[in-house]
Chains A and B, each alone.
Chain A
Amino acid sequence: MNPLSIISGQSPSTKLAFVFGFVSFVVLPSVLGAQWTDIVTSTTCFAIAAAGIAFLYGRVGMVSLTQVGLMGVGGWIMLRLSHGTTLPFEINLILAAFGAMGFGVILSLPSLRLRGLYLALITLMAAGGFEVLFAAFQFPNGGDGFWGVQTATEAGVRRPAIALSDSAYLRYVIGCAILGFLLIELNRRLKPGRAWAMLSQSEAAAMSASINVVRHKIWAFALSGFLAGIAGALLAGNIGLLDPSTFRAGESILLFALVVVGGSTYWLGCIIAAVLYRILPALLNDWGLDPDLAFIIFGIGLLHALITAPKGIASQILDRRARVAAPKEAQQSIEIADLNVRFGGVVALDNVSVTFDKAIVGIIGPNGAGKTTLMNAISGFIANTGTIQSGATELTSLAPHKRSQWGLRRSFQREELSENLSIFDNVLVQLDADPMPPADKQAAVHKALAFVDLQDQAEDMVADLGGFERRLVDLAKCVAGAPRVILLDEPAGGMSSDETRQLADLILAIKDHCGAQVLLIDHDVDLVAKVCEDTMVLDFGRRIAMGPTAQVLNDPAVVKAYLGSAEE
């Protein structure tokens, strides 16, 4: 997909987003009264921040409970610069955004080691820290020194020259929000988005698809922090000063919860989250409802939405499915020497030395024999001793994604595709890191899809595909571009005999299609016998046979390993 296609022919949801953004920008500031102008301005600020955590959670699968704290950072910088310098608003806004982005990058570091609840809690601790710091140092209000605090507030923040009135400022903020949403959308639809989609599903899959996981995680947090910074700075411009109570840790948890309620994978979800966060309480307050009762209503609504709308209110409105699948396992041809893999005291691979030099090589063995471990070692996912080489290229020293870039491809036992991307995009992910020109990438993807006979369904969403078609997409990923070695881990698992036959034909055609060597693991000995020239047998991590397939399958040691000694 190229950037042009973002604009043309999009889903109804995207079209609705354009209409919504346009109407908000043009109409809202002119029709709202003074109070509602203020309310909607603050809501829009929080929508920008919500967009940051929403894509982080919905698209990248990482949780940040620091977002409102990071808004405080952006707001702090805006206030400090506005009071301490004569820089224009826009410069302050950008600096505030970059400042918060810096903290976002710091926050991303734990995500390299942690995920899920643990990561969420670390970010919650950061939010708690921000809360204390804001309470201790307060927000600049025109004082001297680094902290810029004095005992009385001077005039508030300077607003942008083009947006001095409240309604003009609302339009300005909505404009910023639209740009913020577009920034995310752009990232999501291009390379980073595909990378995030992969790594949210499986980091292993992402690495095998040439994705630099570390860089993409940091980038995701940085982007989220950037948006929080913008949101906080704009909020400071709305009321002119900030109070630490706005940025308590509990607020970050609440905003995250509302993003889940709204629907983290939808643009509308962020709007709903912000509306629930700011407009609903303002409405209840306006109606004179006791704020304590408003809390109760709010809590009930939150629980109800989490129970009844697991994908968020936006999914019920937009009726669109989201979510991610993942890649498979693929491998290529290789010389292996003295390969050892240990998991604690367990020897998974014991001094395996072998050379695979035929176009298609099978690897068989009983469960637990070390077949997949071998593939993982070749892919670089697990630590090993010994060497793995392909011609002059020493693979052992390369990181997984570098091996993938070199031309090592892999499918996994369950196909790892991104359900919220089209078939075309799923294959394109594989080529993102490739230096070839975009037009060539498009051509390569089309060629790969033609190979598996899916060229007419290129724009279909993977979510709509059946199991066999998914396998085909996976295979197309493996053959796209210029692979050298393809590792297939049980490609025929769960296939009907008819489908297995088609698959066998395709595997046999790989060499002619792209010249890559294939290493195939499968329990279906018939398939192995049909397509593999050579076959290696593993048992308890040791190579017990290797040679022409027919010969190996008749080896008594192999029969024993498969059928047990009673069979002798």
Chain B
Amino acid sequence: MTLNRSILLSTVLYVIAISAVIAVLGHGKPAKVISLFAVSGLATGALYALGGIGLVVLYRATGVLNIAYGAMGAAAAMFAWQLGQWGIIPPLTWVCGIALALVLSLTYGRGIAPRLAFQPPVVKAVATLGAALIILGGVNFFWVDDVRKFSLPTDTIGIQILGLRVTATRLIVLLTAIAVVIVIQSYLKHSIRGLQMRSIANDRALSALLGIPILRVETLAWGISGLLAGFTGLLFGDLIRLEPTVITFMVIPAIAAAICGRLENLWLVLIGGLSIGLIESLMTLSPLFKSIRPVTPFAIAVLAMLWMQRGTRLIFDEEK
């Protein structure tokens, strides 16, 4: 009852806030211009959302926030590009790129993550920075600075939405994000493995006592996350740019989207990511804010987190 009221309140406030932002930023601009920037923003927002969803899927199952997520994606994109340069047929290059991210993710998940299990979540998260540095260093070593472009055949197909041409690749990002949310949600909810994942995320030691095959479940989570990282990396390489450092550090705005869902609610991550992209793009319309529009993900994440934490007290937090 109170829960429903809280959701209702949040929804109403969210709608009011978004409308207010659009009204303020778009004030005095023709509707066509606003819609142009809105569509463009949603296209970028879908990228944030997809990144955030991949982070949350892993975090929920293993308690690890993987900062190396972007680096794994960058490795996938560069590898796929390289295979393409060598004349291998495109679909095979994509599969190989994603497979590389899968291998990297599993290597970390099986080889290193368990040795850090005793560390607090923050240290587990910053440790993945070590993996990010290794992967990024390796990628930059093999592929020295040069101009490259990675394209998917879907780039050439596009439809007009409110005056903006939106390519099929961008639609794939959005649809994948939604599909992943639906599939993962129902998997976690309805399958035994999903239940086990939730249990492990909650208390690893206790889950072990209960006889949950921790290694197997965590391996599965790292595997899913690796596939998503590779897939996301390819799309980032196509839609943002094929520069390993840029793709690697896309993880920070993706974390912002993940925070919007409190690292657990995938639907909120999706909404958060899209909202971030929308507002960030609309900020271009404001002479005052356009130079600092990349601040949007961080500002929204902080506001979302503080809103979700309203009214809580910390005192016995540890005993939970």
Contacts and interface: CB of A to CB of B under 8 A. Distances in A.
B3 to A, nearest CB: 10
Contacts of B318: 202
A102 interface: no
A133 B133 contact: no
B269 interface: no
A291 to B, nearest CB: 8
Contacts of A253: 67, 126, 129
Nearest to B71: A299
Nearest to A376: B316
B302 A249 contact: no
A132 B298 contact: yes
Contact of B306 (A110, A128, A294): A110
A78 B72 CA distance: 39
Contacts of A21: none
Interface string B101-126: 00000000000100110111111011
Contact of A136 (B122, B263, B292): B292
Interface residues of B, number: 53
A120 B255 CA distance: 12
A256 B119 CA distance: 14
B130 A303 contact: yes
B234 interface: no
Interface stretch (A8-16, A111-119, A428-436, A492-500): A111-119
Contacts of B292: 132-133, 136-137
Given A116-B121, A122-B302, A128-B253, A303 B131 contact: yes
A257 interface: yes
Given A110-B305, A204-B315, A128 B141 contact: no
Contacts of B134: 295-296, 299-300, 303
A257 B127 contact: yes
B253 A306 contact: no
Interface residues of A, number: 51
B132 interface: yes
A115 B320 CA distance: 13
Q: Which of B115, B116, B129, B135 has the most CB of A within 10 A?
A: B129
Given A125-B298, A132-B298, A260 B67 contact: no
Given A204-B316, A295-B140, A381-B316, A306 B129 contact: no
B252 A299 contact: no
B235 interface: no
Given A257-B129, A302-B133, A307 B116 contact: yes
A424 B246 CA distance: 54
Contacts of A249: 249, 252
Contacts of A132: 292, 294-295, 298
A156 interface: no
Contacts of A63: 122
A203 interface: yes
B127 A306 contact: yes
Contacts of A120: 122, 125
A120 B122 CA distance: 7
B93 to A, nearest CB: 23
Contacts of B159: none
Contacts of B138: 292, 296
A552 interface: no
B99 interface: no
Nearest to B245: A250
A257 B131 CA distance: 12
Interface string A272-316: 000000000000000000101111101111110011001000000
Given A110-B306, A115-B317, A302-B130, A295 B297 contact: no
Contacts of B130: 257, 298-303, 306
A112 B305 CA distance: 13
B291 interface: yes
B309 interface: yes
Contacts of B4: none
A177 to B, nearest CB: 24
Contact of A295 (B136, B302, B305, B306): B136
Contacts of A290: 141
A121 interface: yes
B53 interface: no
Given A204-B316, A207-B315, A306 B119 contact: yes
Nearest to B136: A295
A269 to B, nearest CB: 14
A452 interface: no
A295 B67 CA distance: 15
A519 interface: no
Given A249-B249, A295-B136, A301-B130, 5 more contacts: A121-B263, A121-B305, A303-B130, A306-B119, A307-B116
24 contacts: A65-B126, A110-B305, A110-B306, A112-B314, A113-B310, A113-B314, A115-B314, A117-B121, A120-B122, A121-B305, A124-B255, A125-B256, A125-B299, A125-B302, A207-B315, A248-B249, A249-B249, A250-B249, A257-B130, A295-B134, A295-B136, A299-B132, A302-B127, A303-B127
Interface of B: 65, 67, 112, 115-116, 118-123, 125-127, 129-138, 140-141, 249, 252-253, 255-256, 259, 262-263, 291-292, 294-295, 297-299, 301-302, 305-306, 309-310, 312, 314-318
7 closest pairs, A vs B, by CB?
A295-B137, A299-B133, A299-B134, A302-B130, A292-B141, A296-B137, A303-B130
